[in-house]
Amino acid sequence: MERTKIDQLKGNIGQTVLVKGWIQEFRGQSKIKFILLRDISGVAQCVVFDQSLFDACSKVTTETVVSIEGLVKTATVKSAEVTENTLEIEVKKLDIINTAEPLPINVVEKDKSIITDLSKRLDYRFLDLHKRDIQAIFKVQSTLVQAYHEFMIKEGAIEALFPSIIGASSEGGTEVFEVKYFEKSALLSQSCQLYKQMIACSMEKVFAVFTVWRAEKHNTVRHLNESRQFDFEMAFADDKDVMDVLARCIQFMIEKVMKENQRELALLNAKLKVPGVKYLTFAEVSGIMKKHGIHLGADDLSGEAEEKLGELYPETIVFVHDWPLSGKPFYIMPKGDELSLGFDAIYRGMEISSGGQRVHLPELLVERLKAKDLNPENFKSYIDSFRYGAPPHAGWGAGVERITMLILGLKNIREAALFPRDRERLTP
Ligand code: ATP
Ligand code: MG
């Protein structure tokens, strides 16, 4: 018999089906036993009347993997857990596929006051991922990544696969991880910045979902030491052009999640709306913050200011552009002496992306590197790549886990990474 997924039971009323999954819960009375069976598509209530199966039932532990054959019918007893349908399976045959040992963490946390803490859950992430609400997070993340591909391909961008081990730091300043590379020492990539620029200068429009490593010692709820980025770069474009691409891209991704993940959003109690777009200069934001008693530094937004923007412009992607030159990396194009063509995008009170027009002129790059106290010698091959026909170009990078966290209202970015890497955690 072919396996039926739990969300397909509806079409099989009155028929015998074969279902496979995990035992989420087992309850027994003397004449009747109940099993809640879970697969990736849902949870089904299974009832056992047949006394000859009671012995097998008594052996099942929670999360044991079983196969059940039974008759699909309208439920006799309703269970609060089973929201998918009001059907149940009357069990005719029960086979244990693999017995689960006693669980180190609960998979069903009925009493929300004794919820396992995040760190312990992450120690047992493989088991944490048996939970339906945790699965929901990563179903949504999967939709985001798919939507990103779909959007970018429609935009006419090509997908690039970049190296992650590099010979020299791509950004200068930020802390990088060193790795042994045969006789030499190499670094783990902090961004694909320089590579995506080279591809934009040859193939015009490029995107990537790229893993980055940052050796920053911070331990915050919004940073990981390994994270993924949605990257984009485009030739013959300025900051305004790529802000528009980013806005439409995020809107498309959110719309897709709203369409395809209704069940997951409900399970996570996440309210989602396609965001609007607002453009403000850094100077304007400074003024707005002053009015609200928040003092901004000369060239960066504080966490407090980002939060305030989220409050003032709810459900909006706020682009803060004309950013002070001193606050942006060397590869961002200056706009006059003080400003730049760099921007940040803030959504729900947090930075989701940074981007801008790049410096495509070798002499200007040398000047900008020096202005940042970086040695142009160390960036020679990068600078040289712009000597043989480099068009003006612009782009951005947006955090995959950061966006997942914000659209689902998760409190900690670790919740939005399958296997997070932070200062303390390298396993599982
Ligand atoms: P932040 O100011 O929030 O620390 P950043 O300006 O250092 O971020 P960028 O280099 O601009 O980060 O990276 C682009 C995007 O990648 C950020 O807007 C954010 O969404 C995400 N991101 C950056 N650093 C991290 C990190 N350590 N962990 C998770 N996501 C990150
Ligand atoms: Mg940034």
CA-angle at 50, arms to 15 and 2, nearest 5°: 35
Q: Is 224 in the pocket of ligand 1 (CB under 6 A)?
A: yes
Instruction: Tell me the ligand closest to 320's alpha carbon.
Output: 2
Strand 42-48 relative to strand 87-98, pairing? parallel
For domain 6-98, the question of CATH label 1.10.287.890 is answered with no
Calpha distance 332→368 (Å, rounded) = 9
Token representation of residue 215: 């050796």
Strand 178-181 relative to strand 65-74, pairing? unpaired
Q: What does the pLDDT look like over 326-380, one tens digit per residue?
A: 999 999 999 999 999 999 999 999 999 999 999 999 999 999 999 999 999 989 9
Residue 77: pLDDT above 70?
Answer: no
| Ligand 1 site-directed mutation target among 218, 225, 227, 348, most atoms within 8 Å of CB | 227
C-alpha distances (whole Å) from 221 to each of 274, 304, 401 are 25, 15, 11
Q: Is 398 in the pocket of ligand 1 (CB under 6 A)?
A: yes
Calpha distance 310→404 (Å, rounded) = 16
Kindly report the protein residue whose alpha carbon is nearest to atom 24 of ligand 1.
Answer: 223
Helices 400-408 and 239-260: crossing angle in degrees, nearest 10, is: 50
Mean residue pLDDT of the chain comes to: 94
Is 284 in the active site? no
Report pLDDT for 172: 62
pLDDT-derived band at 129, boundaries 50, 70, 90: very high
Q: Which residues surround ligand 2, an ion (CB under 5 A)?
A: 354
Share of the chain above pLDDT 70, in %: 96
Q: Which residue has the tokens 């929901």?
A: 136
CA of 352 from ligand 2 middle (Å) equals 8
Q: What does the pLDDT look like over 37-73, one tens digit per residue?
A: 999 999 999 999 999 999 888 889 999 999 999 999 9
Calpha distance 81→87 (Å, rounded) = 12
Residue 5: pLDDT above 80?
Answer: yes
Report pLDDT for 116: 83
Report pLDDT for 233: 98
Peptide bond into 428 cis (omega under 30): yes
Token representation of residue 276: 């609007």
Report pLDDT for 174: 64
Is 423 in the active site? no
Beta strands in 87-225 (DSSP E): 87-98, 158-159, 165-166, 178-181, 184-188, 205-213
Report pLDDT for 58: 85
Q: What does the pLDDT look like over 18-42, one tens digit per residue?
A: 999 999 999 988 899 999 999 999 9
Report pLDDT for 80: 58
6-98 shares its CATH topology with 132-416: no
Report pLDDT for 81: 59
Beta strands in 358-407 (DSSP E): 393-399
CA of 353 from ligand 2 middle (Å) equals 6
CA of 165 from ligand 1 middle (Å) equals 19
pLDDT-derived band at 84, boundaries 50, 70, 90: low
Kindly report the protein residue whose alpha carbon is nearest to atom 1 of ligand 1.
Answer: 351
Superfamily per CATH, domain 132-416: Bira Bifunctional Protein; Domain 2 (3.30.930.10)
Sequence ranges of the domains in the chain = 6-98, 132-416
Report pLDDT for 120: 95
Cross-strand bridge partners of residue 178: 187
Query: DSSP characters for 274-323?
Result: --EEEEEEHHHHHHHHHHTT----SS---HHHHHHHHHHSTTEEEEEES-
Share of the chain above pLDDT 90, in %: 89
How many other CB atoms are there within 10 angstroms of residue 319's CB atom? 22
Q: Is 357 in the pocket of ligand 1 (CB under 6 A)?
A: no
Specify the ligand 1 atom closest to the Cα of 345: 18
* pTM of the predicted structure, to 2 decimals: 0.96
Q: Is 399 in the pocket of ligand 1 (CB under 6 A)?
A: yes
Helix (H) or strand (E) holding 120: helix 118-123
Q: What does the pLDDT look like over 132-148, one tens digit per residue?
A: 999 999 999 999 999 99
Specify the ligand 1 atom closest to the Cα of 229: 16
